Amino acid sequence: MNANDMLALLPLLLIAGTAMVIMLSLAVKRSHELAAVLTLAGLAASFASVFAVAKLVPRQVTSLLLVDGYALFYLGLIIASAAAVAVLSYNYFAKHDGQREELYLLLVLATLGCGVLVTSVHFVSFLLGLEILSISLYGMVAYFTDRGQALEAGIKYLILASASAAFLLFGMALIYAETGTMAFSSIRHLPAAGSNLALLLPGIALCVTGIGFKLGVVPFHLWTPDVYQGAPAPVAAFVATTSKTAVVALLLRFLTIAPQQSSAVFFLFSAIAVASMFAGNLLALRQDNVKRVLAYSSIAHFGYILVAFLAGTIMAAGAVAFYLVAYTVTILTAFGIVTVLSNSDSDAEDLKDYCGLFWRRPVLASIFTAVLLSLAGIPATMGFVGKFYILASGANVSAWPLIIVLVLTSVIGLFYYLRIVITLFSAVPEHPSSAQRLAWGSAIVLGGLAALLVWFGVYPAPLLGLIRATIGGLN
């Protein structure tokens, strides 16, 4: 490695350095405020370095990592969403007694794992990034040790992640046995060369199974709602957005062409997409817990994303990128509202907690309404534009059965989104919970996210231009 290689890795090095600084500061003095400030400062420096590194890309750093425009785009998205989670976490954890500082250390380490994933072009770095992310999330999900649901969610996430790693390792072994290399490029080019796929396709299937556990798509979704429900609200936001964004970005790099060249892989992803769209929306209909509604909704949304992924074109990669930005902004805002409405005893997750919210806190209710409309794909929101590009990418390759399923299940999803909207504007309960003043940090984050949600829904051209400029270098 030379100096330019180190500069190319500057965003990751700054995140790793931030984790070390936080850890050393905790050894000297425990301070919730200091840990939060160091976290935000480190993430801000890392985000700024993304623009500086852009002049050096694309650059291959050893055989493990590739820093290009594609990786930098997702690095920026991951770092920005992690910073939003850090701000929301500060006021949320300030309400709780006990040690709170380690949460920020785990958050930064999880962000580092996500960064390694989006720059990976090799199975070794893939596994290292995934384990850094997973091990950090174990502690984050079960952070409230005095809550039975949190411990249960942490144990379930541990089991899911362990199963994911087992499938991935077995799949990697089969792929290595077939190709003699652990670079992602071998998977994309060997099917086209007409090689023997006796071990390659089972290896890919096992790796997809492992990734399926991380994304929570059907049939690997069974404990996903339990993890969302038991985790602290800001942690659930990170799990739902940042961690899954990194895994989808890696999946695109891992299997950019394989679905089109192998009917078996195409059928596998199609079955997962259809099952996720139906199961996610149908199971959400029966939920009265907002966290579980968002969990089942996420299953459906990643089914939508797989429709574009199966198209396998640069246009489809751009559609996935836009949809991930829209999904991240929307879900961060949704869980941000859950976070600010929560108290020291429990999260505001029951539907009855939102009864008549508009008459008590009209701004929060209006933002939540915009979020739900975006998730439903209503015009003038990012969700509508994202879903439109998903449909366009599917139509571009004539994937009409998948498009029909997407449209049908989106109509089903309207019911449970509008059900929450109606609850927001219903009569105020006789004994409403006392409204707490919204902290300025949370207000800035929620206001900024809500503005992006509407702005890019009305005028998506700047974001689409950025995506086209960076996604074209996917390789």
The confidence band for 266, taking pLDDT boundaries of 50, 70 and 90, is: confident
Q: Which residues, at least 6 apart from 207, have a Cβ–Cβ distance to it below 8 Å?
A: 167, 168, 171, 172, 175, 254
| Contact (Cβ atoms closer than 8 angstroms) between residue 296 and residue 225 | yes
Spatial distance between the Cα atoms of 27 and 214, rounded to a whole number of angstroms: 33
Q: What is the pLDDT of residues 89-138, one digit of tens each?
A: 998 888 877 788 889 999 999 999 999 999 998 889 999 999 999 999 99
- Cα 339 to Cα 69, 181, 350, distances in angstroms: 33, 45, 13
pLDDT at 105: 94
Identify the burial level of 425 via C-beta atoms within 10 angstroms of its C-beta, where 0-12 means exposed, 13-18 middle and 19 or more buried. middle
**How far apart (Å, rounded) are the C-alpha atoms in residues 337 and 342?**
9
Q: How confident is the model at residue 393 (pLDDT cuts 50, 70, 90)?
A: confident
Please check whether residue 171 is in contact with residue 206, taking contact to mean a CB–CB distance below 8 angstroms: yes
Q: How far apart are CA 304 and CA 322, in angstroms?
A: 13
Residue 125 · residue 182 · CB < 8 Å: no
Q: Write the pLDDT tens digit of every residue in 273-327.
A: 999 999 999 999 888 899 999 999 999 999 999 888 887 777 888 889 999 999 9
Contact 387, 409 (CB under 8 A): no
pLDDT tier for residue 199 given thresholds of 50, 70 and 90? confident
Q: What is the model's pLDDT at position 20?
A: 95
pLDDT value at residue 192: 47
Pairwise CA distance, residues 4 & 204, whole Å? 34
Given this model, what pLDDT does residue 184 score?
79
126-144 pLDDT tens trace: 999 999 999 999 999 988 8
Q: Which of 297-301, 447-451, 455-459, 467-471 has the lowest mean pLDDT?
A: 467-471
Give the DSSP letter string of 215-271: HT-TTS-TTHHHHHHHS-HHHHHHIIIIIHHHHHHHHHHHTSSHHHH-HHHHHHHHH
- Mean pLDDT over all residues of the chain? 86
Residues 30-76: pLDDT tens digits? 888 999 999 999 999 999 999 988 888 788 888 889 888 889 999 99
**189-204 mean pLDDT:** 65
Pair of tokens at residue 399? 């994937």
Mean pLDDT computed over 14-34: 92
Amino acid type, 39: T
Terminal-to-terminal C-alpha distance of the chain: 21
3-state SS class at 95 = coil
Instruction: Answer yes or no: are the C-beta atoms of 269 and 310 closer than 8 Å.
Output: yes
Q: Which of residues 345 and 420 earns the better pLDDT score? A: 420
When divided into structural domains, the chain yields a total of 1
Residue 286: its pLDDT value, please?
85
How far apart (Å, rounded) are the C-alpha atoms in residues 465 and 147?
46
Position 93, amino acid: F
Confidence of residue 470 (pLDDT cuts 50, 70, 90): confident
User: Taking CA 111 as the corner, what is the angle to CA 290 and CA 74, rounded to the nearest 5 degrees?
Assistant: 90
Residue 360 has pLDDT above 90, yes or no: no
Encoded tokens for 106: 């785990």
Find where tokens 């596998």 sit: 268
Q: Is residue 333 classed as helix, strand or coil in its secondary structure? A: helix
The percentage of residues in the chain with a pLDDT greater than 70, rounded to a whole number, is 92
Structure confidence at residue 196 (pLDDT): 56
pLDDT of residue 258: 47
Q: Which tokens go with 386?
A: 């994202």
Range of the domain at 288: 3-471
Residue 30 to residue 34: CA distance in whole angstroms: 8
DSSP string across 131-180: HHHHHHHHHHHT--TT-HHHHHHHHHHHHHHHHHHHHHHHHHHHHHHHHS
Residue reference for tokens 């990976």: 120
Q: What gap in Å lies between CA 362 and CA 243, rounded to an integer? A: 31
Residue type, 155: I
The mean pLDDT value for 157-171 works out to 89
Q: Decide if pLDDT at 193 tops 50.
A: no
Rounded to an integer, what distance in angstroms lies between the CA atom of residue 327 and that of residue 306?
A: 14
